[in-house]
Structure formats: C-alpha cells, structure tokens
Amino acid sequence: MNSFEYMQPNNLESASKFLVKNNSSYAFAGGTDILGLIKDDIVAPKQLVNLKKINSLNFIRHDNENGLSIGALTKLSDIENNEIVRTKFSLLSQAISEVATLQLRNVGTIGGNICQRPRCFYFRGDFDCIRKGGDTCFALTGNNKYHCIVGGGPCYIVHPSDSAVALLALNAKFKIFNGKDETVIPAKDFFVLPDVDDMKENILKDGEILTEIIIPNPNTETVSKYIKVKERGAWDFALVSIAGVFNIKNKKILDGKITFGGVAPIPWEEETLNAKLKNISIDEKSINQLSDSAFNKTDALEMNSYKIPLAKNLIKKLLLEI
C-alpha cells in the first residue's frame, strides 16, 4: 500500500477542494469499499478525504410535504431500523437488510453503498481490464457467470448496490454538491452505462459529493417488496434482485414500477415492462403474460443466460406475493 495524506475536513466546501486537489483524491465514508480497493492495489490515493466529520450529512428527516430525506453519511443500519422508513418506505428497509452483514451495515453509509465500485473479479483482480484503463473486458470470453445480460458493452459489470435498486423504484432524487452549489437529479440520471463512460459508474466529477437522498411520500394504497436471489445462503451480492412499488385497488395495479439488480451495469428499469403495469389485474394469466414479455432482448453471455428466466420468474413471484 502506498503512503497517502489523510484529510479530515469538517465541511463540504473543504472536502470538495481536497477532492479536486489532484487526480488521486478519494472520498472516505464507512470505508467498506475504498479500503478494499486500496489493499488490492486497484486505486493508489495520494489523498484520502474522510467525510465523516461533516455532521450535516448524517440525518433522517420526514415531513408530509417533502417526503423522506436521508443524508449520504447516514449508516445503513440506522436507515434499516428507522421507524418511519420501516413503515412508510419499507422497500428501502427491506433492500438495506439484504446488504452484506449487520457488522458492515453498522459501518457502511447509504452514499457509499450507492457509489460503490463493481465487484467483478477481473476488475478486483490482477487484470488490466477496461474499467482500469485497459482495452479488454475479460468477462466477454472468460468467466461471465455473474455479469450483465442487458446494458453491457464494452464493459459487462453489474451494479452491486441493493439500496440503489430500491431507490430507483421509489423515484428517489439525489442531491449533489459541486463545491459551490447543489443540484438535484432523478436517481435514474445518476448512474452511467459503460458505453457512456467505461471507467465510471456514476456522473460524479472531481470535487462533487453526493449529499442527500430524497424520496417522495407514497400514497395510501402503495404496496412494495424487494426480493434478492443469492448464490449463497450467507450474505452475498445479487444474482438477480427485484424491487416493486405498486398502487393497488380492487385487485388491480393502478400504476407501478419494477426495477432490477444484478442484470445490468446500472440499477435497471425496463420502461416497456412498467408501462404494461398500468391497470393490470393481479391474476395468474395477466402476471404470466407480463413476465413473458420481459427480457426478450438481452446480450446474455455464455455463462449467464440463466438470469433471463430467473428475472422473469422473479416478476411472477413479486406480483403474486404482493
């Protein structure tokens, strides 16, 4: 591990300046991802900028007008166990409960979970892959069992975050500080596909910091659920995960939204699938037709085509269980 400076700013302005001081400054929050990247020689920071002293980024607030606001440095376990989150925004609590282990959720932050780097073993291993500045995605012809089936090329990672999948389904917005001003964008605009930038997972530029997550209030008929399929019974990243938020009345979905994890380089939404949710009856025939229409155009690789029927069957499971 190389030597680096450890900076501890107590406000956003100072943190932003440190993060643009050179091209090897990295933000540090819970550390559950960045420390692994450093130890594995994936990154070699000249500066590590500790954000944890910025107390303004650690909060959970709710009101009936603006919905739920969560500071980016709020620990995952605090969100998971918050009474407002568990009752009014249960999808987020469900998804966070599937993140890693309790010990890691006690340390990891919501901002870090959203911004974590991919878990591809070529990226994390001793390979000069595209995401590290090389010219080859070794998953394309190598072991691609865990890689994406949609949205890939030239890199075929999957996004590892459970919370991001739930936040996309909840129509969350993200607040970003750029050193002077703050902007608010929809969650779907935060993540970046490899054909846009094959070395980044999100739109954050040098000096920019994710500061807050904002989730609108659901209506009284809203039902939501998160399901995650893992290879191991212990904690693991998703083979495929699914999040759903639905407004239901008289056994009909008035409108809804389904999102997926483990299938794409970003938290994934099939807009044509969600368009078909409007006024659909919750019965076996309608659910089968909806499931059959999903993921019929994929870029599945040699070893990961199992994700297609898995995703289809998760749609059925989700809708039957709600």
| 300 and 235 assigned to the same domain | yes
Residues 272 and 172 occupy one common structural domain: no
Same domain, yes or no, for 192 and 266? Answer: no
Write the pLDDT tens digit of every residue in 117-138. Answer: 999 999 999 999 999 999 999 9
> What pLDDT, on a 0 to 100 scale, did the predictor assign at position 153?
97
Q: Is residue 49 part of a domain?
A: no
Residues 178 and 226 in one domain: no
Write a three-state SS string for the chain.
CCCCEEECCCCHHHHHHHHCCCCCEEEECCCCCHHHHHHCCCCCCCEEEECCCCHHHCCEEEECCCEEEEECCCEHHHHHCCHHHHHHCHHHHHHHHCCCCHHHHCCCEHHHHHHCCCCCHHHHCCCCEHHHCCCECCCCCCCCCCCCCCCCCCCCCCCCCHHHHHHHHCCCEEEEECCCCEEEEEHHHCECCCCCCCCCCECCCCCCEEEEEEECCCCCCEEEEEEEEECCCCCCCEEEEEEEEEEEECCEEEEEEEEEECCCCCCEECHHHHHCCCCEECCHHHHHHHHHCCCCCCCCCCCCCCHHHHHHHHHHHHHHHC
> Last residue of some domain: 166, 185, 215?
215
Q: Are residues 72 and 209 in the same domain?
A: yes
Final residue of a structural domain among 215, 240, 260: 215
- Regarding whether 227 and 201 lie in a shared domain, the answer is no
Percentage of residues in the chain with pLDDT exceeding 90?
95
- Quick one: 186 and 282 in the same domain? no
| This prediction's pTM | 0.97
Number of domains making up the chain: 2
pLDDT at 187: 98
Domain match, 185 and 202 both = yes
Q: What is the CATH number of the domain that holds 70?
A: 3.30.465.10
Regions in the chain scoring below 50 on pLDDT: none
122 domain-assigned = no
Considering the domain architecture, whether residues 179 and 289 belong to the same structural domain is answered as: no
- Do 77 and 205 share a domain, yes or no? yes
Tens-place pLDDT, residues 255-277:
999 999 999 999 999 999 999 99
CATH at 287: 3.30.390.50
What is the domain range of residue 204? 56-115+158-215
| Same domain as 243, residue 168 | no
In a domain, residue 288? The reply is yes
Query: Could you tell me if residue 19 is inside a domain?
Result: no
Among candidate residues 191, 215, 239, the one where a domain is terminated: 215
